[in-house]
Structure 1
Amino acid sequence: MTQLTRFGISMDTRLLEQFDALVARKGYVNRSEAIRDLIRNALVEDQWSRGDEEIVGTVTLVYDHHVRDLADKLTEHQHDHHDAIVSALHVHLDHDHCLEVVVVRGPAPRVKRLADELIGTKGVKHGKLVMTTTGRGIV
């Protein structure tokens, strides 16, 4: 069992009211759990910025599969970074559009470079990189 430490926080009443509304909207059982999540998020973002630890994430792409050679270019980028790709999911959204979700893992700079290459490929309508932690070192 982990050891808990209690501490106090002073803040403007209006800020606390806004925070309490956020806590309620997100379904937290109490402020403490919400604050723990905020702290974990800050630690994960710090982990990305240092670039010295392995991160995991997803690159989500939406594109028109009729664009000439686009699927081949995306596949080529993925093969160029095969050691950073864990898995890929391809979904047909409608007659023209596809969604591709690529699960990535590695040092943050390398993962960001791969995501930029995929998202920047001509014909990709929208793309987004979402990075998180492997969970090691985060309590």
Structure 2
Amino acid sequence: MLTVFCMAKDSNHETLRRITVSMSEDTFQALDRIVTERGFDSRSQAISEMIHQQAAEHLGKIGTQIMAGTLTLIYDESKSSLLRDLSRICREHLSEVISSQHILLEDDHVLEVLLMQGPVKTLREIANELVTCKGVKSTHLTLTPHLLPPLHAVRNGK
């Protein structure tokens, strides 16, 4: 059961809606554990975050939505031509790949995090292209509907 109860404004002047949610005792206990273990201020905050994550995941599956996110790669940099291939792919997608952070791990492995923004379909294509490079062990794409502000805003018509 989900019922809209009333509306209010929070400290950021966002409209909030109060709802009633019915759930099994097991689900309720699991929710309370999540609230405690993750440090949420309230059940409402935890439920809101869970719904936000599911909405972002759903929008990410549609493909045309513009989203921002990170692509985390683990790879073995000792593989010949891998670094060249990764750089080539990133350069081919300069409009989407905004920055990267390169962290050296043990045994010639690297953790690289790419900050990206663009159509979800394109971001998934980039992730798929990178994961197929010989030497890439894994990738993980995390997306959010919250966008980065314009990096190069035009001011005063200049």
Structures share fold, TM-score greater than 0.5: yes
The question of whether the paired residues in 1 share the 8 Å contact of 2:85 and 2:133 is answered with yes
Match of 2:89 among 77, 99, 123: 77
Unaligned runs of 5+ in 1: none
Tell me, in whole angstroms, the C-alpha distance in 2 between the residues paired with 1:79 and 1:94.
27
CA deviation map 1:7-27 (0-9, x unaligned): 211111121111111111111
- Is 2:130 aligned against 1:118? yes
- 1:61 and 2:80 aligned: no
5+ residue gaps, structure 2: 1-12, 149-158
Number of residue pairs the alignment of both structures matches: 136
TM-score (normalised: structure 1) = 0.89
Q: C-alpha distance in 2, partners of 1:8/1:60?
A: 38
TM (normalized to structure 2)? 0.79
CA distance in 2, matches of 1:16, 1:92: 42
CA distance in 1, matches of 2:135, 2:122: 23
What amino acid maps onto 1:32 in structure 2? S
Aligned mates of 2:117, 2:49 — CA distance in 1 = 22
Aligned AA (1:39): I
Shift in CA distance, 135/31, structure 1 to aligned 2, threshold 3 Å: farther
Q: Which moved more, 1:22-31 or 1:127-136?
A: 127-136
Given residue 108 of structure 1, which amino acid in structure 2 is its aligned partner?
A: V
Could you say which structure has the higher helix fraction?
A: 1
Q: What's the offset of the Cα at 1:2?
A: 2.7
What is the RMSD computed on CA atoms of the aligned residues?
1.7
Could you tell me which of 110, 114, 117 is aligned with 1:102? Answer: 114
- Structure with bigger strand share is 2
Distance verdict in 2 for CA 1:106–1:64, change over 3 Å:
same
CA distance in 2 between partners of 1:27 and 1:54 (Å): 30
What's the CA shift for 1:4? Answer: 3.0
Match of 1:129 in 2: 141
Percent identity between matched residues is 31
Q: Is the 8 A contact 1:54 1:134 kept in 2?
A: no
Report the CA distance between 1:95 and its aligned residue.
5.2
Runs of 4+ in 1 over 4 A off after TM superposition: none
Partner of 1:9: 21
1:18-69: CA deviation from partner (whole Å, max 9, x where unpaired): 1111111111111011111112112212221222321111111111111111
If asked which structure has higher relative contact order (CA below 8 Å, sep 6+), I would say 1
The structural deviation recorded for 1:70 is 0.6
